[in-house]
A and B are shown apart, each in its own frame.
Chain A
C-alpha cells in the first residue's frame, strides 16, 4: 500500500514539473502554431541564471527569483524577435520553425556547457531535510512547495487566459488568426506576448527544478521531451490539456517502473509520445481540426 502511495506521490511531483514545462510550451504553441523546442532551453537557462545570481553572486533569494522570471520572459521575447519572427516574415512553414527551434535548443545547451562546464551544479538553498511521511509515502517540504506552486501558477494561467483582455486576445489568435486580425488584434504582438508569458512560466519551472534537482547542461532537452510529450498527450495547444497530460505522463512513468527496470522510465515517455502522435495526434482534450495533419505539407 505504501509503495502505491509513494509511486503516486513521485508521479505527482514529476507531473507537476512536467506540467510547468508543458503549460508554457502549450501556450506558445496555441498562438504560434509551431513546436517551440527551444522552450526547454528557456527552462535550463533560467535554472543556470538562478545558480549564477544566487549561488555565485550571493544575491538575495527572492530578488534572484524575481530577476530570473524577468530574464526568462526577455529571453523568450529575444528568441521570437531574433529568429522566429524573421522566419515568419518569409512565411516559413511550421517545419522550418521546428528545425530552427531544435537548432536554438542545441545552441543554448552548448553555450551552457561552454560557460558552466559539464559537471552538475546544485543550488544549496535548502539543506537536505528528512522527508515528511504521509500514510507511509515520503515527501520533502520542497516537493510540497513544487506541487503547490505549480497548481497555483497553473490556476493563475488559466484565469489569465479566460478573464483578462490579453488572454482573450491570445485565445482569439489561437482560434483564428485572420479573423482576430480583422477585429484589430495585432497577431505579431500576441505572438510576442505568448513568448514572454510562456517563457516566464518556463522561468518558474527552471527555478523549482533547479532547487529540486541538479543542474546539468542537457536538462533543457530532457525536460522539453517530457513537457512536449505531456502536451501532446493532453492535446497540444490546449493549456489545461497540457497540464492533464503532464500529470498522466508523470504517473505513467512512475507506475511503469513497477513492471520495467527503472532505466526504461524515459523509454516509457517516448513510446507514449509515439503512440499518441500516430493514433491521436490531437491528444486527449484537443479537437481534431481538418488540415491540422496537413500542416507544413
Chain B
C-alpha cells in the first residue's frame, strides 16, 4: 500500500521535473518570463489524450503532443518577441487563459468541463505500462532524457547565446546573433517538453479536464523554478522533489481532502513568498532574480 503511494509520488515528481526544467530553459536561461507554460502542458495533455482515444499508439501521441506544443510555442514567440519583463509575463499569462477557455468551450473536441475520461495507458512495443511501477520507469526515462537534452543545450554554444540574450539582448544582436530565431527555438523546445509532460500526465491519470490547467497549477511550477534557482537545472530537480513532497504529510495528519487541497496551495503560495522575500536566488540560482 505504502509502496504504491511512494510510486505515485515518484511519478508526479518525474512529471514536475520535466515541466519545470523545460520552463527553466525559457525562463532561467533565456530570460523569457513565460507564464504561459501551463498552456503548453495543457495542449500536450489534450493532443495526446485525443490521439490516444482515437486509437493512435502511445509513441505517436507522445511525439505529437511535443510537436504541437512546440508549434504553439513558436506561435507565441511571434507576437511576444518585442515584449520584455512583466509585459511578456502578462501576455503569456493571457495566452494560457485563452488556451484554458478553448479547452473549456470547444465542447465538440474536448468535451468541455466534463473532461476526457478513459485515456488508455501507454503501450510500447506490445508492452502495456498499466502497472504503476512500469509507468514510473517510463516517466523516469523521459525525465532523464529531458534533463540530458536540456543540459546538452544549455552547455552548448547555443546555450551561451541564450544566456547572452537573457543578460543583454541588444549586445547579442550587435554580435550578429539572430536573437528572435534563438528565442523561438528556446520557446519551442521548452514547449515541446511541457507537451511531453502533459502527455505523460494524461496517460497516467487517464482523465483530464480543463480544471487541471488553471492559474492554480502555475504556482507550484513557478515555485519550483524560483526555489530551485534561475538557470540551475540541478536545483530545479531538488526543488521539484521538495514541492511534491512538502504538502504530503497533511494527508497523514488526517485532514479531509477538502482541507488538503487548499492547504497545499497555501503552502505553495507561502513558500513562494518566503523565497522571494528571503532567498531570491533559490537553492542554487546562477543569476540574481531581479
Known contacts A266-B101, A277-B90; A87/B84 CB under 8 A? no
Known contacts A263-B104, A263-B112; A95/B277 CB under 8 A? no
* Surface stretch bound by A, among B64-72, B125-133, B142-150, B214-222: B214-222
Q: Give the complex CA separation of A295 and B219 in angstroms.
A: 23
Please tell me which one of the listed residues B258, B259, B276, B280 contacts residue A103 in the complex, with CB atoms under 8 A apart: B276
Any B CB within 8 A of the CB of A93: yes
Chain B residues with Cβ below 8 Å from A264 are 101, 105
Q: Chain A, 10-31, contact with B by CB distance < 8 Å: what is the 0/1 string?
A: 0000000000000000000000
- B258 and A118: CB pair below 8 A? yes
- A295 and B218: CB pair below 8 A? no
Any B CB within 8 A of the CB of A278: yes
User: How many inter-chain residue pairs (CB < 8 Å) link A and B?
Assistant: 135
* Surface stretch bound by B, among A129-137, A146-154, A267-275: A267-275
Residues of chain A in range 83-134 having any CB-CB distance to chain B below 8 Å: 83, 86-87, 90, 92-96, 98-100, 102-107, 109-111, 113-114, 117-118
Please tell me which one of the listed residues A34, A83, A221, A267 contacts residue B277 in the complex, with CB atoms under 8 A apart: A83
Known contacts A100-B273, A270-B94, A274-B95; A295/B86 CB under 8 A? yes
Number of A interface residues at 8 Å Cβ cutoff, please give it.
47
Q: Give the complex CA separation of A108 and B15 in angstroms.
A: 27
Any B CB within 8 A of the CB of A297: yes
Any B CB within 8 A of the CB of A198: no
Known contacts A114-B259, A261-B105, A264-B101; A92/B280 CB under 8 A? yes
Known contacts A106-B215, A110-B266, A114-B266; A297/B105 CB under 8 A? no
Q: Give the complex CA separation of A275 and B107 in angstroms.
A: 25
Q: Give the complex CA separation of A51 and B23 in angstroms.
A: 40
Within the complex, the shortest CB–CB distance from B129 to chain A, in Å, comes to 33
The chain B residue sitting closest to A279, CB to CB, is B79
Chain B residues with Cβ below 8 Å from A58 are none
Q: Chain B, 243-284, contact with A by CB distance < 8 Å: what is the 0/1 string?
A: 000000000000000110111011011101100110010000
The chain A residue sitting closest to B82, CB to CB, is A293
- A278 and B83: CB pair below 8 A? yes
Any A CB within 8 A of the CB of B182: no
Known contacts A274-B98, A295-B84; A83/B112 CB under 8 A? no
Q: Give the complex CA separation of A23 and B169 in angstroms.
A: 35
Please tell me which one of the listed residues A34, A94, A261, A281 contacts residue B83 in the complex, with CB atoms under 8 A apart: A281
The chain A residue sitting closest to B261, CB to CB, is A113
Residues of chain A in range 272-297 having any CB-CB distance to chain B below 8 Å: 273-274, 277-278, 281, 293-297
- A93 and B95: CB pair below 8 A? no
- A104 and B269: CB pair below 8 A? yes
The chain A residue sitting closest to B97, CB to CB, is A270
Within the complex, the shortest CB–CB distance from A11 to chain B, in Å, comes to 19
Chain B residues with Cβ below 8 Å from A95 are 33, 85-86, 89, 290
Any A CB within 8 A of the CB of B156: no
The chain B residue sitting closest to A272, CB to CB, is B94
Any B CB within 8 A of the CB of A249: no
Q: Chain B, 75-102, contact with A by CB distance < 8 Å: what is the 0/1 string?
A: 0000110111111011100110110011
Any B CB within 8 A of the CB of A35: yes
Number of B interface residues at 8 Å Cβ cutoff, please give it.
45
The chain B residue sitting closest to A269, CB to CB, is B97
- B85 and A294: CB pair below 8 A? yes
Residues of chain B in range 30-49 having any CB-CB distance to chain A below 8 Å: 33
Any A CB within 8 A of the CB of B226: yes
Known contacts A99-B276, A106-B265, A111-B262; A297/B215 CB under 8 A? no
Any B CB within 8 A of the CB of A225: yes
Chain A residues with Cβ below 8 Å from B272 are 99-100, 103
Any A CB within 8 A of the CB of B289: yes
The chain B residue sitting closest to A33, CB to CB, is B86
Chain A residues with Cβ below 8 Å from B218 are 102
Q: Give the complex CA separation of A87 and B83 in angstroms.
A: 24
The chain B residue sitting closest to A273, CB to CB, is B94
Q: Give the complex CA separation of A296 and B31 in angstroms.
A: 11
Known contacts A106-B219, A110-B266, A263-B105; A92/B83 CB under 8 A? no
Chain B residues with Cβ below 8 Å from A94 are 85-86
Within the complex, the shortest CB–CB distance from A133 to chain B, in Å, comes to 32
Q: Give the complex CA separation of A35 and B289 in angstroms.
A: 17
Chain B residues with Cβ below 8 Å from A296 are 33, 84-86, 290
Not counting A92-B276, A92-B290, A296-B290, a sample of 10 additional A-B residue pairs whose C-beta atoms are within 8 angstroms of each other reads: A93-B85, A95-B290, A103-B269, A110-B263, A111-B266, A273-B97, A274-B91, A294-B84, A294-B85, A295-B84
* 23 A–B contacts, CB within 8 A, in A order: A34-B86, A35-B90, A92-B280, A92-B289, A92-B290, A93-B290, A95-B86, A95-B290, A106-B216, A107-B270, A110-B265, A111-B266, A263-B112, A267-B105, A270-B98, A270-B101, A277-B83, A278-B80, A278-B83, A294-B84, A294-B85, A295-B87, A296-B85
- Chain B interfacial positions (CB closer than 8 Å to A): 33, 79-80, 82-87, 89-91, 94-95, 97-98, 101-102, 104-105, 107, 112, 215-216, 218-219, 222, 226, 258-259, 261-263, 265-266, 268-270, 272-273, 276-277, 280, 289-290
10 closest A-B pairs by beta carbon, nearest first, are A296-B85, A267-B101, A107-B269, A110-B265, A110-B262, A270-B97, A263-B105, A277-B91, A113-B262, A103-B272
